[in-house]
């Protein structure tokens, strides 16, 4: 666990793609407001956002009493509080916009790294240590856990962490914790309530189990309703999140016809183009269908793909890869377990290695040189054909970008340094644990000698 926490934090925060989405601006400045003014209102920070986003920034809105509040869920702002508090203590001024974006990126990197570490604990419950480590590494550097979750203070990193904790708690029958984590997941990103509904069969059939789960959910339900009432005037309002959820529930056949294949296999946004290693998760879903955990993980992932595709903006806008599917990556990583168990030490491991190699390479492209803003500016993102051109998409644009090779080499160096630091953290942790164990045994032996004498 220390290996993934340290290695991922270093490689995620060290990535060279540092262009922060405007979606995160209200989120990080809410953290700043909480630390500096003990408030959720962004009145004093609104002019700073306007300077960069124009007169009517979409990422904030007017709440009750004319106060300005972020339009995005505030749970991610809470994640950033320790980092923002550190930056504030170091003397960073409210006007230092870029410094706060760095704080948001650091918070997102740490959160995404924590999701990898917790997922590794989940995988240890399901398979051998070696396979668990390989799947965790696949999730860490072969998926958008790196290129999206670890890149900024998106909602996705918090979802991935909460979902990983939910899975661990369900497996270990810590149902109050499972409910608490599931509630957190919905607070981070409201549409993930769909994932919670699909995973509910794993709670079990006993009334006492459901009571424990509900008890865990309750604090977040109450807190979220109270926040929504204060921020938006209604416990059921969620900023622009409520409108998105309504659109997702209202099934549109045309959106699905474009969005489902677009999110899965299109050259410009396909999950299996950016991370073809996750094709093994499909095999894992079939092979593990008889096991409830794998079955409901597969159902949850499939249902979420449908709902994510049910929008004219299924592509996720100006972002790297199929960002809207970043929420289900822990589920797909779990589904790699039955697949890897089936092909371990067979010739199919060569295919696993090849697909993983491409998946990591794509993430390296994004983290090293996502400098394709002009590509987005010159294209209609709502046109379905934009995402299906095999020679005109963001990956090709990155491959053709100036200075790509030096940036790739630099990113590889950062990754290698992160892996080395992760290994050092593991060795150090084991040495400390051994020393603590030896000291405890020495005290026990000394006490035993005392008793005998």
> Three-class SS of residue 335?
helix
How far apart CA 450 and CA 445 sit, in angstroms, is 9
Q: Which residues pair with 240 in a beta bridge?
A: 238
List pLDDT tens digits, range 183-192: 999 989 888 9
Cα separations (Å) of 37 from 45, 94, 383?
11, 11, 43
What is the pLDDT, as a whole number, of residue 412?
95
Sign of CA dihedral 82, 85, 90, 93: positive
403 dihedral zone (left: phi>0; alpha: psi -120 to 50; beta): left
Of 281, 388, 399, 365, which is closest to residue 330 (Cα–Cα)?
Answer: 281
pLDDT at 150 > cutoff 60: yes
Helices 2-13 + 129-141 axis angle, to 10: 10
Q: Which two tokens stand for residue 396?
A: 């090709």
pLDDT in the model for residue 61 = 85
Structure tokens at 54: 């124009």
Q: Are residues 108 and 150 in contact, defined by beta-carbon separation less than 8 angstroms? A: yes
Of the given ranges (229-238, 344-353, 381-390), which has the lowest mean pLDDT?
229-238
Q: What is the mean pLDDT of residues 288-293?
A: 96
CA 364 to each of CA 101, 132, 170, 323, 452: distance values in angstroms, whole numbers, following the listed order: 21, 22, 33, 16, 63
Please indicate whether residue 385 or residue 3 has the higher confidence score (pLDDT). 3
Is residue 306 within 8 Å of 248, Cβ to Cβ?
no
Tokens representing residue 88 in the block:
């504030």
Residue 91 region by backbone torsions, left for phi larger than 0, else alpha for psi between -120 and 50, else beta = left
Q: What's the rounded Cα separation, in Å, for the pair 217 and 112?
A: 22
pLDDT of residue 386: 87
What is the mean predicted confidence (pLDDT) over 41-67?
85
On whether the pTM is more than 0.85, the answer is yes
Taking Cα atoms as reference points, which of 283, 269, 259 lies closest to residue 144?
269
Mean per-residue pLDDT for 5-30?
90
Q: In this structure, what is the dihedral angle of CA atoms 418, 124, 200, 74, given to the nearest 10 degrees?
A: -20
Q: Are 329 and 164 in contact (CB under 8 A)?
A: no
Closest CA to 393 of 274, 267, 261: 267
38 confidence band (pLDDT: 50, 70, 90): very high
Q: What percent of the chain has pLDDT over 90?
A: 61
The candidate with the shortest Cα–Cα distance to 73, out of 157, 187, 208, 229, is 187
pLDDT of residue 403: 87
Of the candidates 141, 156, 99, the one whose C-alpha atom is nearest the C-alpha of residue 15 is: 141
| Residue 23: predicted pLDDT | 85
Q: What percent of the chain has a predicted confidence (pLDDT) above 70?
A: 94
Q: Where are the alpha helices (DSSP H) in 66-154?
A: 75-79, 81-89, 97-124, 129-141, 144
Pair 61, 243: CB distance under 8 Å: no
The per-residue b/e assignment along 384-408, b for 16 or more CB within 10 angstroms, e otherwise, is: bebbbeeeebbbbbbeebeeeeebb
Which residues have C-beta within 8 Å of that of residue 298, sequence separation ≥ 6?
285, 288, 289, 331, 335
- Cβ neighbours around 450 below 10 Å, total: 8
CA 302 to CA 240: how far, in whole Å?
24
Q: Which residue has 């950016």 as its token pair?
A: 274
* Residue given tokens 């400390």 in the structure block: 432
How would residue 300 be classed by pLDDT, with cut points 50, 70 and 90? Answer: very high
> Residue 72: is its pLDDT beyond 90?
no
H/E segment holding residue 60: strand 60-62
For the chain, report the end-to-end CA distance as a whole number of angstroms: 43
Helices 329-343 and 155-171: angle between axes, nearest 10 degrees:
50
Exposed e or buried b for every residue in 31-59, given b needs 16+ CB within 10 A? bbbbbeeeebbbeebbebbeeeeeeebeb
Question: How confident is the model at residue 180, as a pLDDT?
Answer: 95
Whether the pLDDT of residue 243 is over 60: the answer is no
Domain range annotation of the chain: 2-409
pLDDT in tens, 155-194: 999 999 999 999 999 999 999 999 999 999 998 988 899 9
Q: Which residue has the tokens 């030896």?
A: 438
pLDDT at 444 over 70: no
For the ranges 93-102, 243-252, 282-291, 423-432, which has the lowest average pLDDT?
Answer: 243-252
Q: In whole angstroms, what is the distance from residue 10 CA to residue 413 CA?
A: 11
């Amino acid at each position: 666990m220390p290996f993934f926490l340290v290695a991922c934090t270093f490689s995620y925060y060290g990535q060279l793609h540092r262009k922060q989405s405007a979606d995160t601006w209200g989120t990080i400045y809410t953290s700043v407001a909480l630390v500096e003014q003990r408030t959720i209102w962004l009145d004093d920070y609104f002019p700073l956002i306007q300077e960069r986003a124009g007169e009517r920034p979409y990422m904030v809105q007017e709440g009750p009493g004319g106060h300005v509040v972020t339009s995005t869920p505030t749970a991610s702002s809470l994640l950033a509080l320790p980092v923002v508090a550190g930056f504030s203590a170091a003397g960073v001024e409210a006007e230092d916009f870029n410094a706060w974006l760095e704080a948001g990126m650091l918070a997102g990197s740490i959160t995404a790294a924590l999701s990898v570490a917790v997922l590794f604990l989940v995988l240890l419950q399901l398979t051998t240590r070696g396979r668990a480590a390989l799947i965790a590494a696949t999730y860490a550097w072969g998926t958008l856990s790196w290129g999206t979750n670890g890149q900024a203070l998106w909602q996705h990193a918090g979802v991935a962490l909460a979902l990983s904790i939910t899975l661990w708690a369900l497996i270990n029958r810590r149902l109050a914790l499972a409910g608490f984590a599931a509630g957190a997941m919905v607070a981070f990103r409201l549409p993930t309530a769909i994932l919670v509904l699909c995973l509910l069969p794993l709670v079990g059939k006993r009334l006492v189990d459901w009571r424990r789960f509900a008890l865990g959910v309750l604090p977040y339900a109450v807190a979220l309703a109270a926040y929504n009432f204060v921020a938006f005037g209604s416990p059921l309002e969620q900023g622009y999140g409520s409108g998105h959820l309504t659109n997702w529930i209202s099934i549109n056949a045309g959106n699905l016809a474009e969005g489902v294949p677009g999110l899965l296999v299109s050259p410009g946004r396909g999950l299996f183009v950016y991370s073809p290693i996750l094709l093994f998760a499909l095999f894992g879903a079939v092979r593990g269908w008889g096991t409830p955990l794998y079955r409901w993980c597969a159902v949850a992932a499939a249902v979420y793909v449908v709902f994510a595709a049910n929008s004219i903006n299924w592509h996720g806008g100006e972002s790297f890869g199929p960002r809207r599917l970043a929420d289900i990556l822990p589920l797909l990583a779990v589904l790699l377990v039955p697949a890897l168990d089936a092909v371990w030490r067979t010739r199919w491991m060569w295919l696993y290695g090849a697909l993983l190699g491409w998946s990591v390479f794509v993430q390296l492209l994004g983290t090293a040189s996502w400098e394709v803003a002009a590509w987005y500016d010159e294209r209609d993102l709502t046109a379905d054909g934009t995402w299906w051109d095999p020679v005109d998409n963001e990956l090709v644009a990155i491959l053709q970008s100036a200075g790509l090779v030096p940036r790739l080499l630099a990113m590889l160096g950062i990754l290698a340094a992160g892996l080395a630091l992760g290994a050092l953290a593991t060795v150090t942790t084991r040495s400390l644990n051994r020393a603590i164990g030896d000291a405890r045994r020495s005290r026990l032996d000394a006490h035993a000698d005392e008793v005998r004498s």
